[in-house]
Amino acid sequence: MKFLRILRKGFLFLLIFLGEIALSFSDKTSTEKIFPSEEKMPISLRLSNNLSEYESMLGLDQQIKEFMNKWDIVGASVAIVKNERLIYTKGFGYADKENSEKVEPRHLFRVASVSKLITAIAVMKLVEEGNLNLTDTVFGENGILYNNDFLDICDERILGITIENLLNHTSGWSNKKGDPMFLNISIAREMDKELPIEVETIVEYVLKNRKLDYSPGKKSIYSNFGYALLGLIIEEVTKTSYEDYVITQILNPLGIYDMHLGKSLPEERYENEVKYYGLKKERQVLSSFGTGEKVPKFYGGNSIETLGSAGGWVATPTELMKLLVAIDGFDTRNDILSKETIAKMTSSTKKIRPFGWTGTDNKGFWWRTGTLSGTSALLKREKNGLSWVLIINTTPKYGARFPVQINKTMIRGLATIDYWPTYDLFDYYEPKTLYSKELTLNN
H/E stretch holding 11 reads helix 2-15
The domain total for the chain is 2
Contact 119, 310 (CB under 8 A): yes
Share of the chain above pLDDT 70, in %: 88
Mean pLDDT for 191-200 is 98
Q: Quick check: is 172 in a domain?
A: yes
Mean pLDDT score across all residues of the chain = 90
Q: Quick check: is 10 in a domain?
A: yes
Which phi and psi (to 5°) does residue 173 adopt?
Answer: -85, 145
Question: Of 194, 217, 238, which one is at a domain's C-terminal end?
Answer: 238
The pLDDT, as a whole number, for residue 434 is 35
Cα distance between residue 264 and residue 372, in whole Å? 12
The pLDDT, as a whole number, for residue 20 is 31
Query: pLDDT tier at 430 (50, 70, 90 boundaries)?
Result: low
Q: For 399-425, what is each residue's pLDDT tens digit?
A: 999 999 999 999 999 999 999 988 899
Q: 134: which residues sit within 8 A by CB, 6+ positions away?
A: 127, 162, 163, 164, 167
Contact 309, 255 (CB under 8 A): no
Question: Of 238, 269, 284, which one is at a domain's C-terminal end?
Answer: 238
Cα distance between residue 386 and residue 58, in whole Å? 18
Contact 60, 417 (CB under 8 A): yes
Q: For 116-168, what is each residue's pLDDT tens digit?
A: 999 999 999 999 999 999 999 999 999 999 999 999 999 999 999 999 999 99
Residue of 66, 15, 68, 77 lying closest to 44 (CA atoms):
77
SS3 category, 404: helix
Q: Quick check: is 157 in a domain?
A: yes
Cα distance between residue 132 and residue 127, in whole Å? 5
pTM: 0.89
Which phi and psi (to 5°) does residue 386 adopt?
Answer: -100, 130
Of 8-22, 92-106, 129-143, 210-224, the one with minimum mean pLDDT is 8-22
Question: Of 223, 238, 253, which one is at a domain's C-terminal end?
Answer: 238
The pLDDT, as a whole number, for residue 281 is 85
Beta strands in 267-419 (DSSP E): 285-286, 294-295, 313-315, 359-360, 366-372, 375-381, 386-392
Q: For 368-389, what is each residue's pLDDT tens digit?
A: 999 999 999 999 999 999 999 9
Q: Is the pLDDT of residue 15 over 60?
A: no
Q: Is the pLDDT of residue 439 over 80?
A: no
Q: Quick check: is 218 in a domain?
A: yes
Q: Is the peptide bond before 180 cis (omega within 30 degrees of 0)?
A: no
Query: pLDDT tier at 240 (50, 70, 90 boundaries)?
Result: very high
H/E stretch holding 441 reads helix 437-441
Share of the chain above pLDDT 90, in %: 84
Residue 4 lies in domain: 1-16+431-443
Q: 189: which residues sit within 8 A by CB, 6+ positions away?
A: none
Straight-line distance from the first to the last Cα atom of the chain, in angstroms, rounded to the nearest whole number: 8
Mean pLDDT for 170-178 is 95
Residue of 335, 383, 403, 311 lying closest to 116 (CA atoms):
311
CATH number, domain of 199, equals: 3.40.710.10
Query: pLDDT tier at 429 (50, 70, 90 boundaries)?
Result: confident
Q: 208: which residues sit within 8 A by CB, 6+ positions away?
A: 152, 153, 154
Q: Quick check: is 222 in a domain?
A: yes
The pLDDT, as a whole number, for residue 26 is 27
Residue of 432, 405, 341 lying closest to 125 (CA atoms):
341
The pLDDT, as a whole number, for residue 220 is 96
Q: Is the pLDDT of residue 187 over 60?
A: yes
Q: Quick check: is 131 in a domain?
A: yes
Q: Quick check: is 201 in a domain?
A: yes
H/E stretch holding 164 reads helix 163-167
Q: How many CB atoms lie within 10 A of CB 385?
A: 16
The pLDDT, as a whole number, for residue 280 is 85
The pLDDT, as a whole number, for residue 443 is 31
Cα distance between residue 78 and residue 318, in whole Å? 8
The pLDDT, as a whole number, for residue 25 is 26
What is the 3-state composition of the chain as percent helix, strand, coil, each rounded to the nearest 5? Answer: 40, 15, 45
Q: For 26-77, what is each residue's pLDDT tens digit?
A: 233 334 666 555 557 898 999 999 999 989 999 999 999 999 999 999 999 9
Going by the DSSP 8-state scheme, the letter that residue 317 receives in this structure is H
Distance of CA 440 to the CA centre of its chain: 33
CA distances from 326 to 214, 320, 331, 383 (A): 35, 10, 10, 15
More confident residue, 320 or 26: 320
Q: Quick check: is 1 in a domain?
A: yes
Buried b (16+ CB within 10 A) or exposed e, 311-338: bbbbbbbbbbbbbbbbbbeeeebeebbe
